[in-house]
Structure 1
Amino acid sequence: MEPRGPLSWRIGIRRWDHLVDCALWIRASECIEVPAHRLVPGPLDLDELPAPTRPLGTVPGAEWLGWWLSLVDPAGRRPRPRAGLEPADDTPDPLGLAPWPALRRVVAERWPEARDWHLARQGDSLTRPAPGNSAATGLVRQVERSLGRSVRPFSVEITLLPVRDEVIRRVDHERYLVPERVHDSPRWSVWLRDLVLRIG
């Protein structure tokens, strides 16, 4: 964030969001076939997946999609949950998983493995350098110099995803889903510069 009195800009980068990462791990490990949706990314960036614990098709892809959208687009329009729904207290996301009984059981069972994978991945990633918020600050300053003025106030939230695709998905005017492989590549600064030029 670059403060400028009462008006400022902000670029938040969320890496290693445990619910987002683990939702992707559960989709991959259980081979859940999810309906197409603009916010559903490609496959998990993992060479060896654990074996599924249920036959293919046991966990409805629509349930995973509902949970996924509650994580990445909580303001999006979705059907309201049924009245009197019990929270999924046996899971890490009691309210998000409450409407999805088949998925809830899988998540409750597989959560320890998903959490262990997430923590190991987080530890491995800390040893590799990647562009951070200081790089974003430098980039915004470059844009300001090229424009000859300060950028207009804006706020952007980036959620990084451990997936094997290179598609940046726009959730809304402030939020984006970005594959880690894009964020950790030269393409990131090009995309971010274009975004700042457009909104700043």
Structure 2
Amino acid sequence: MTTLWRIKMDVPETLNFAIFVGYAFKILPDIVFDDKVNKWPVKKYSIEESLSHDELREAWIDWWGGLLKGRQESKQKLSRPHTDGITSQKFKDLCEEVWPDFHEWWSMPAGGHMAMTTYTTMGNGEVRALIKEFEERLGRSVQRFSLEVDLVYAGIGEVMEVSSDYVVMPITPPPYYNTEWWRKKISEIG
């Protein structure tokens, strides 16, 4: 039997760096992002008085939107320290300032990228079970679909649906714990 569906999870350095920058300077927008935990990064950075907090937040929002669009369209890796698309030189300089700390965290042998990668396969059985449940309920196979899921360490409290076939999820709680979201998504695309 041929599988008609594909769910691909990735842990993009680009999006995680952007969230790290947002936390570091406390510029995550409240509407979508969860900045209440404030556990990451441990070192907090300060913004010079000559820089506008609102201006930096707007630059971050533009950058984030560009990163999502780039991930959705091509899944390309961006050059380090991922400042492509940033038009504000002040903001770009701040990103370059925090890059070494992010890179150190990201490269930890038992943390960062390595730890997050475990979430890309964890829960595959649970998602398969939800798809099987959907198929049994409808008495037919799920329709062909492909879903790209990018995982971020922190920053977002809920699943961020960028498009019908691309979402960004936090790793806390683990992505497969959100069974209600998965059931809804499978019903929409299956």
Instruction: Classify the TM-score, shorter chain.
Output: 0.7 to 0.9
Q: 1:33 to 1:129 in 2, by over 3 A?
A: closer
Counterparts of 1:154 and 1:127, CA distance in 2: 24
Q: Is the 8 A contact 2:169 2:175 kept in 1?
A: no
Q: Does 1:51 align with 2:44?
A: yes
Q: Is the 8 A contact 2:26 2:35 kept in 1?
A: no
Name which of 94, 106, 110 aligns with 2:94. Answer: 106
* C-alpha displacement of 1:50: 1.0
Q: Is the 8 A contact 1:161 1:180 kept in 2?
A: yes
Q: Is the 8 A contact 1:167 1:178 kept in 2?
A: yes
Q: Does 1:10 align with 2:41?
A: no
Q: 1:175 to 1:66 in 2, by over 3 A?
A: same
Q: 1:45 to 1:118 in 2, by over 3 A?
A: farther
Any stretches of 5+ residues in structure 1 without a counterpart? 77-87
- Equivalent residue runs for 1:77-96 within 5 Å: 91-93=80-82, 95-96=84-85
What is the TM-score of this pair, normalised by structure 1?
Answer: 0.72
Instruction: Give the AA of the match of 1:189.
Output: T
* C-alpha displacement of 1:180: 1.6
What is the TM-score of this pair, normalised by structure 2?
Answer: 0.75
Q: Is the 8 A contact 2:25 2:46 kept in 1?
A: yes
64-73 or 131-140: bigger deviation: 131-140
Deviations 1:111-163 (A, max 9, x none): 11111222333344567897333432332223212221111111222222222
- Equivalent residue runs for 1:1-200 within 5 Å: 3-4=2-3, 8-14=4-10, 16-32=11-27, 34=29, 40-43=32-35, 47=39, 49-55=42-48, 57=52, 60-74=56-70, 91-93=80-82, 95-97=84-86, 99-119=87-107, 120-125=111-116, 131-163=122-154, 166-184=157-175, 186=177, 188-200=178-190
Counterparts of 1:140 and 1:42, CA distance in 2: 30
* C-alpha displacement of 1:94: 5.0
Count of aligned positions: 178
Instruction: Give the AA of the match of 1:50.
Output: K
Any stretches of 5+ residues in structure 2 without a counterpart? 73-77
Q: Is the 8 A contact 1:9 1:155 kept in 2?
A: yes
Cα root mean square deviation, aligned: 3.3
* C-alpha displacement of 1:73: 3.0
Instruction: Give the AA of the match of 2:34.
Output: G
